[in-house]
Amino acid sequence: MNPFLKKYGLVIAGGTIQGLGMGLFLFPHSIPSGGAGGIAVLLNYWFNMSMGVALWIVNFSLLLFGVKILGKRFALWTIVSITVTSLSVDFFETSFMIQNRNLVYDLVFGSLFLGTGIGLLMRQGVSNGGVGVVALIISTKRKILPGKPLFFLNMSIFVITAMVVDWKIIVLALISQWLSTRVVDLVCQMSFQNAYTLGWRKKP
């Protein structure tokens, strides 16, 4: 298979699966999928904005800060991923209704799909957008690992979201983050032959 087409197909699949987890399982309970998801929940709460549109706006706005540091090719692939994710969120939110929802089931399944989608994207050297872009910029400028700024950025947004919407959200968000990141690690450890990446850490 053509390497470009294979990468494109996996990016589409990753964005769609991520959107499935968010739109069908997490967002109906206002559970943020991350920092960007938390901001999208707030925009939806304050302005009754579609979650898919809100998520795209947040991700695209944050990505603009990272273009100079992360490179144009990285930015273009990330725009593809966040666009597919946002369209998927809107599709699954509006096209499917789950009767007699169970919070625990939705939390687990949503986190599993979220982690699978992000893992597929990361295997292709593509970001799923969000505050991870900002965390990477901070880590580059301060020469520190991105984990700490990413954690504090997400936590700050989770706290604000919890204060505005519901305090239980911060607990659910942390559980979701833990589950989804475990799945990301599992997917990234899987062996995909001839995976095509662009070496996104360097500018083109």
- Please write the tens of the pLDDT for every residue from 101-148: 999 999 999 999 998 998 888 788 777 777 767 776 776 678 776 556
- Distances in Å between the alpha carbon of 185 and those of 35, 38, 92, 182? 19, 22, 25, 5
Tell me, yes or no, whether 194 lies in a domain.
no
Our count of domains for the chain comes to 1
Tell me, yes or no, whether 203 lies in a domain.
no
Tell me, yes or no, whether 73 lies in a domain.
yes
Tell me, yes or no, whether 161 lies in a domain.
yes
Residue 82, domain extent: 3-189
Whole-prediction pTM value? 0.77
Q: How far apart are CA 20 and CA 181, in angstroms?
A: 17
Tell me, yes or no, whether 196 lies in a domain.
no
